[in-house]
Each structure stands twice: as C-alpha cells, then as structure tokens.
Amino acid sequence: EAGVAQSPRYKIIEKRQSVAFWCNPISGHATLYWYQQILGQGPKLLIQFQNNGVVDDSQLPKDRFSAERLKGVDSTLKIQPAKLEDSAVYLCASSPGVAGGEGETQYFGPGTRLLVL
C-alpha cells in the first residue's frame, strides 16, 4: 500500500513570495490533515478535511494561507505572501476517517521543508 505522498520535499523562497505544497493521501482515506511543525515543536494542525469539506481550520492564518481538497482526494496548501516565521516543515496526513477501531490513526507523509529568507 502506497503511503502519503508530498511534494516538493524542500523549498527555499524569499519573504513575500508565494509557495504551494501538494499532498496525495492514501487511497480511500476520507480525512486529510495539514500540519505545520516548527523545529523543536510538535505538529500544529492547520486544517482538517473530511472528504472535500472542511472540519477544522481554526488555526489556519487565513490572511495568507489557503487550502483546498478537490474531489476529496489530493490537496494543496498555499502560502501567499510568505513570512520569515513560516519557515517550518509542512506535514500532510490522512486517516480512514471511520470512528472506532483504528479509524482515527493518522498516516503522515515525509513533509515539505520550507525555508523563507
């Protein structure tokens, strides 16, 4: 079974530029998550999708971050314009989304490492 795929793996941009990250979840997984992980900290949930609807985006800085999940499969996360403090690893995760059992288990991708100069 293929895991969660993310691209690019690394990105270096200058502040005020825009950047986009792509995520392909495990086939059949209904729930998709985007996290921001700053060095030395745990992942912080940015947005959670159930199929192609948003479940939670309370911590997404909506003035500069946006995310979409078209057709309930792939997802993109965009930052426009980027700030220095956006330097972090952006992790995508997916889960079956079925309550009970191990349905809430999250499977993480390798992450995209963003450096904003």
Partner 1 sequence: SQKIEQNSEALNIQEGKTATLTCNYTNYSPAYLQWYRQDPGRGPVFLLLIRENEKEKRKERLKVTFDTTLKQSLFHITASQPADSATYLCALAGSSASKIIFGSGTRLSIRP
Site residues (vs partner 1, CB under 8 A): 4, 31, 33, 35, 40-45, 48, 55-56, 91, 93, 95, 97, 99, 102, 104-111
CB 114 → partner 1: shortest distance, Å?
Answer: 14
Element (H or E) spanning 115, and its range? strand 112-116
Rank residues 17 and 74 by Cβ distance to partner 1 and give the closer one.
74
Rank residues 19 and 32 by Cβ distance to partner 1 and give the closer one.
32
Rank residues 81 and 115 by Cβ distance to partner 1 and give the closer one.
115
Q: Quickly tell me which residue has 């979840």 as its tokens.
A: 25
CB 117 → partner 1: shortest distance, Å?
Answer: 21
CA dist 107 and 117 (Å) reads 30
Which amino acid, residue 70?
Answer: L
CB 43 → partner 1: shortest distance, Å?
Answer: 5
Rank residues 19 and 111 by Cβ distance to partner 1 and give the closer one.
111
CA dist 46 and 91 (Å) reads 10
Phi, psi for residue 84 in degrees, rounded to 5:
-55, -40
CB 95 → partner 1: shortest distance, Å?
Answer: 7
CA dist 97 and 11 (Å) reads 30
